A and B are shown apart, each in its own frame.
Chain A
């Protein structure tokens, strides 16, 4: 039987609208927790199969699958394609990996949406996966150089000589570090600088963290994730969610980033290391409707920004503040024109510093080139189903989690409801996007 084709009905006359059909993720696990023994490929394949089952796509050929992982083994050079081959999708579905640190998942969504808008594909899957438990461990440059030289050696003597160059210090394995190569500072240490410069209080951070846990627990409890998540390895809810946490309990934790009086960032208001995967199914609107697929929200537009954090001109995780300003300008929208805001909680203070920046007339004038502040948002519309502080943050999986969650939430609010996604990323980058319920 020839593979069913999805991509040969492109009607190039009609405007092509990329829409979010739905999503699937596995509950996120704590590093060293439920998913400690599985690989990125295992998690991504299972998440893909859950998505396929939800939308009855078994044996179908899709336009493409785009996904990535931040912590990646060398053997996973074709991670997403391997996941497709291991899934129930038709093996003729193309796939590729892409990576933009924590922006990976959302950038993959942007990529697939753009291809749909251009008419290159009718439907595609986008997202990502990460395992902090199964992180790759590399050998040192010294040992690697010696091994490579030895492998090129033609005689036993040459080989012995090459291997003799190995020093004891070369034998120590290298684990990936959560640090910026150009500053040597960890992400938390970077954010601690931003937290101090925006004077974000400990109380405000703990309140945001508690709200994240309560919102997420409520979303699980109410069945909101029944059609957004599929259990995996007996994990039926995010491993890190604490329904019973409170500002008081969080207030008892000791700071882990920053020093002295100004140290406010704790393990409770910073994202934990996590394992998990999340994917989004996108399609051209008419194509989706013809096939009886849900149309949750239109993918309107996206913008990516980067900041110069190396020279300390700007905070490492402040790029979304810039990206959003440009995106709003392009669409003639105000910051207040959104029914919901999904701002990735790398740290509670990242969200709060970003909000503070938008409220600051000085920042908006001097940095964003605006005549006035973007202003405050209605905090009841922020991360209404919880975010990374509670769910965890398997780096490349976060974008997919947020997009599917937001699209469903907007669809429930009704046509025209607009939502904002903002994800900060290592390397001083940030990806923001607008969704709108159809």
Chain B
């Protein structure tokens, strides 16, 4: 399971050899709640100012973005690197506010600010373009320009080097308060393995301010927590202050106890496919946290992470393999939600709570031998989008992450050639870690992310597989 190639390129001799062969050089990614180590440049097209106000709210100092004049240099050296105005220092990030971009001509300013920045960005650098969600425009050209930003960001993501990422934030009647958690996530190391993705932020002027330990005293339930991504989710929530209730099947209770004790949480051995699993979770939370949690014995966030694979070509898939995957990965989560969303049930989901689902890139693009799995994970995406608008009055958000190739026991079973291909064929030239998925989940679950709803975020290093 060890990523041998990354160990080779990590060694000076191996790095020299692989560089000469023109092979990709996986970088060590900046992770966790670390801000960029170098300056954050801020630029805007026209008078866009939501990015500036959001960065101000986050207390982040910025330097003005350098503009490429757009005029070519002396004829003999047309477009040469020398003619591009350069930053005086290394850049940690460029935040580009394109919310006022309306015409195709406006896109030139986007190019003019991206070009010098891309040359100045340091390791694990960030490009964050802030645009308006295209559907907000009735004007065709403005809408086309909004969509063009996505094409630019996705391409820049593929051009980034040394662990850098490029992402697009699409705002729609958004406030700086509502946008803060998203910009913070994208700037910090938490988004290490998220690149080339659009994230939509809605409208919430009462969003909480992002805090370093946003889940202090709040109850978070994580299913499938005994190992892999689930264990990492439990760890990240515990790091950020949550009272974590870890759930897994009784037969995994040994590993589950290890995780629960490591994060100072509780282990609940429970088969989530039991018809009353949701009620069992609610009862457990009501009893254990009745008087002593922030949410008065209710759940702040439930993370539906439990999942299984029963891979076979569809031609060889029987009803049992089909049903088992759909039952665990999709049906159980829907049933648990139903129980936890009962506002009168003690131990249910609190108002202002969060539902975070774990989908998969297989659910977006399909995968050979995974029709059952892809059905369940695409179903998760469908359920996320369908449920999200209905819970607005209770200020509950529903979002999903779609992990790509993550190093876990489960992906360790993939044949070696396929695995190596999946590891390299993405913009980061490496597989993600369970913590990368966990960070994205915690971002959605953050009380400050109240303006982020119905989103499906790929955590795949901009994988070209399952794109």
A residues bordering B, Cβ < 8 Å? 46, 49-50, 52-56, 58-59, 88, 223, 225-227, 229-232, 236, 290-294
A230 B292 Cβ-Cβ under 8 A: no
Known: A53-B266, A54-B266, A292-B289. A230 touches B260 (CB 8 A): no
Contact of B261 among A53, A223, A292, A293 (CB under 8 A): A53
Closest to A235 in B: B254
- B269: interface (CB < 8 Å): yes
B266 A55 Cβ-Cβ under 8 A: yes
| A230 and B243 alpha carbons, distance in the complex (Å) | 21
Known: A58-B260, A292-B292. A226 touches B270 (CB 8 A): yes
Residues of B within 8 A of A293 (CB): 288
Among B17-25, B245-253, B332-340, B399-407, the stretch that binds chain A is B245-253
- 4 additional A-B pairs beyond A88-B261, A292-B291, beta carbons within 8 Å, are A56-B260, A58-B263, A223-B274, A231-B253
Chain B: minimal CB distance from A437 (Å)? 15
| A291 and B287 alpha carbons, distance in the complex (Å) | 9
- Chain B, range 220-255, C-beta contacts under 8 Å to A: 243, 250-254
Closest to A88 in B: B261
Chain A: minimal CB distance from B85 (Å)? 52
A50 B288 Cβ-Cβ under 8 A: no
| A294 and B284 alpha carbons, distance in the complex (Å) | 9
| A88 and B250 alpha carbons, distance in the complex (Å) | 20
| A225 and B253 alpha carbons, distance in the complex (Å) | 12
Contact of B288 among A46, A56, A59, A231 (CB under 8 A): A56
Contact of B254 among A50, A291, A292 (CB under 8 A): A50
| A225 and B270 alpha carbons, distance in the complex (Å) | 11
| A223 and B250 alpha carbons, distance in the complex (Å) | 9
Contact of A53 among B252, B267, B270 (CB under 8 A): B267
A230 B291 Cβ-Cβ under 8 A: no
B254 A58 Cβ-Cβ under 8 A: no
Which of A231, A290, A293, A294 has the largest count of B CB atoms less than 10 A from its CB?
Answer: A231
A58 B261 Cβ-Cβ under 8 A: yes
B264 A49 Cβ-Cβ under 8 A: no
Shortest beta-carbon contacts, A-B, top 10: A53-B257, A53-B267, A56-B266, A53-B260, A88-B261, A230-B253, A58-B261, A292-B288, A236-B251, A50-B257
8 contacts between A and B (CB under 8 A): A49-B257, A53-B260, A56-B265, A223-B274, A226-B269, A226-B270, A231-B253, A236-B250
Residues of B within 8 A of A88 (CB): 261-262
Which of B251, B253, B290 has the largest count of A CB atoms less than 10 A from its CB?
Answer: B253
Known: A56-B288, A292-B288. A230 touches B265 (CB 8 A): no
B264 A59 Cβ-Cβ under 8 A: yes
Residues of B within 8 A of A223 (CB): 250, 271, 274
Chain A: minimal CB distance from B147 (Å)? 49
| A273 and B193 alpha carbons, distance in the complex (Å) | 53
Residues of B within 8 A of A58 (CB): 260-265
Residues of A within 8 A of B287 (CB): 292, 294
- Chain B, range 363-412, C-beta contacts under 8 Å to A: none
| A321 and B216 alpha carbons, distance in the complex (Å) | 54
| A50 and B248 alpha carbons, distance in the complex (Å) | 13
| A236 and B288 alpha carbons, distance in the complex (Å) | 26
A53 B256 Cβ-Cβ under 8 A: yes
Known: A49-B261, A56-B264, A291-B292. A231 touches B254 (CB 8 A): yes
Per-residue interface assignment for chain B, residues 264 to 286, with 1 indicating a CB less than 8 Å from any chain A CB and 0 otherwise: 11111111001000000000000
- Chain B, range 71-104, C-beta contacts under 8 Å to A: none
Closest to A220 in B: B250
- B70: interface (CB < 8 Å): no
Interface size on B, residues (CB 8 A): 28
- Chain B, range 166-196, C-beta contacts under 8 Å to A: none
Known: A292-B290, A292-B291, A294-B287. A226 touches B257 (CB 8 A): no
Known: A292-B288, A292-B292, A294-B287. A50 touches B253 (CB 8 A): yes
| A57 and B302 alpha carbons, distance in the complex (Å) | 22
| A380 and B254 alpha carbons, distance in the complex (Å) | 33
| A201 and B31 alpha carbons, distance in the complex (Å) | 71
| A290 and B288 alpha carbons, distance in the complex (Å) | 10
- B14: interface (CB < 8 Å): no
- B258: interface (CB < 8 Å): yes
Chain A: minimal CB distance from B464 (Å)? 39
Known: A53-B260, A56-B260. A227 touches B292 (CB 8 A): no
Residues of B within 8 A of A229 (CB): 250, 253
Contact of B269 among A55, A59, A230, A292 (CB under 8 A): A230
Residues of A within 8 A of B267 (CB): 50, 53-54, 230
Chain B: minimal CB distance from A237 (Å)? 9
Residues of B within 8 A of A294 (CB): 287
Chain B: minimal CB distance from A421 (Å)? 25
Closest to B267 in A: A53
Closest to B255 in A: A231
Residues of A within 8 A of B252 (CB): 231
Chain A: minimal CB distance from B281 (Å)? 13
| A46 and B260 alpha carbons, distance in the complex (Å) | 13
Chain B: minimal CB distance from A303 (Å)? 32
Residues of B within 8 A of A49 (CB): 257-258, 261
Chain B: minimal CB distance from A223 (Å)? 7
B251 A231 Cβ-Cβ under 8 A: yes
Residues of B within 8 A of A53 (CB): 256-258, 260-261, 265-267
Residues of A within 8 A of B256 (CB): 53
Chain A: minimal CB distance from B152 (Å)? 48
B250 A231 Cβ-Cβ under 8 A: yes
Which of B261, B270, B289 has the largest count of A CB atoms less than 10 A from its CB?
Answer: B261
Residues of B within 8 A of A291 (CB): 292
| A236 and B287 alpha carbons, distance in the complex (Å) | 27
| A223 and B290 alpha carbons, distance in the complex (Å) | 25
Residues of A within 8 A of B290 (CB): 292
| A294 and B254 alpha carbons, distance in the complex (Å) | 21
Chain A: minimal CB distance from B396 (Å)? 24
| A53 and B266 alpha carbons, distance in the complex (Å) | 5
Chain B: minimal CB distance from A145 (Å)? 45
| A230 and B265 alpha carbons, distance in the complex (Å) | 16
| A291 and B258 alpha carbons, distance in the complex (Å) | 22
Closest to B274 in A: A223
Residues of A within 8 A of B289 (CB): 292
Which of A58, A232, A291 has the largest count of B CB atoms less than 10 A from its CB?
Answer: A58
- Chain B, range 265-324, C-beta contacts under 8 Å to A: 265-271, 274, 287-292
B261 A230 Cβ-Cβ under 8 A: no
| A359 and B287 alpha carbons, distance in the complex (Å) | 43
Closest to B266 in A: A56
Residues of B within 8 A of A236 (CB): 250-251
A52 B251 Cβ-Cβ under 8 A: no
Closest to A293 in B: B288
| A235 and B250 alpha carbons, distance in the complex (Å) | 11
| A236 and B252 alpha carbons, distance in the complex (Å) | 9
Chain B: minimal CB distance from A42 (Å)? 12
A227 B269 Cβ-Cβ under 8 A: yes
Which of B260, B267, B292 has the largest count of A CB atoms less than 10 A from its CB?
Answer: B267
Known: A236-B250, A292-B290, A294-B287. A52 touches B269 (CB 8 A): no
A232 B254 Cβ-Cβ under 8 A: yes
Chain A: minimal CB distance from B335 (Å)? 16
Residues of A within 8 A of B262 (CB): 58, 88
Closest to B253 in A: A230
Chain B: minimal CB distance from A224 (Å)? 11
Residues of A within 8 A of B266 (CB): 53-56
| A242 and B48 alpha carbons, distance in the complex (Å) | 73
Closest to A50 in B: B257
| A231 and B248 alpha carbons, distance in the complex (Å) | 12
